Structure 1
Amino acid sequence: MIHGFLGFLIQCFSLLQLSSKGANWDEIDFEFLGNVTGEPYTLHTNVFSQGNGDRERQFHLWFDPTTDFHTYSILWNPKRVIFYADDVPIREFKNLEYIGIPFPKNQPMRIYSSLWNADSWATQGGRIKIDWKYAPFTASYSNFTADACIWAFGASSCDTNSPYSNSNSKTKVWLRHELDIAKKRKMRWVEKNHMVYDYCKDHKRFPHGPPLECSVDNN
């Protein structure tokens, strides 16, 4: 699990990103899309596998992310990716390789965070541009942590005392981690009240039907 706290945000800020390298890269990311004064910031999430993304879901959060530090977390294991905001699950992307959907699990990824100009597309489809008179822009972090184990050839890189270790009697907590009923209800609440874009429902973008995983209960 990887998580961090964020302070001030602007036009587009890649808060937390896991990414591999190369033409067929994998990527899991949070991004904040700025807005005009008084309008809400958009939390943008995406999952890439083997160089293919187009799996965006966006949210207007139940708090103003610019007024205080908040926790944004990604849990990534071979079975699922779960996005959290203040420990509330907002999105789950499951491993559906059994129906031919690529899943980011075979490439090592690095952690990136950046502040960057995306005003060609980020704010109201690129209509609103950055006002550079407010530069320089800054972002602040606190209590960033990353806990990771590397699984390869059926073995874990964790030591035997780790709760993630393959030899622990309560084994594979990390590997087995999934949402319980209460957290699934919270995620449904977020989807109903705070999700403002879902690629699975974008008929203009996918006139011949949404991606295959949209026909499966991916939550």
Structure 2
Amino acid sequence: MKAFGCLWNGETWATSGGKEKIDWSFAPFKANVQGFSIAGCQADGNINPKVCASATYSWNNKKYSSLSANDQKALNNVRAKYMNYDYCSDRKKYPVPAIECGWNQ
């Protein structure tokens, strides 16, 4: 297994309607990760996806289903300060929001 990320150029639409441009002079863009671990559930065409909702997986514990008031406030602060674009809020480009957008409520 490997984890990877990608950088795509959305500066014409994803950064305040194209107002903010990427400064390509900082390329190459690098990210380092340490102390990273991941837990997952294999869900392919041969496995019933409901298996991944099993209570045997720690991430399905009720304590992970919502944020505390302090954590929600911290998340809102980070979103307000750093998030330029949210496809879940872009009804012009996506009239029907993606299914994961329901988690933003």
Q: TM-score scaled to structure 1, two decimals? A: 0.28
Q: TM-score scaled to structure 2, two decimals? A: 0.47
Larger helix proportion of the pair:
2
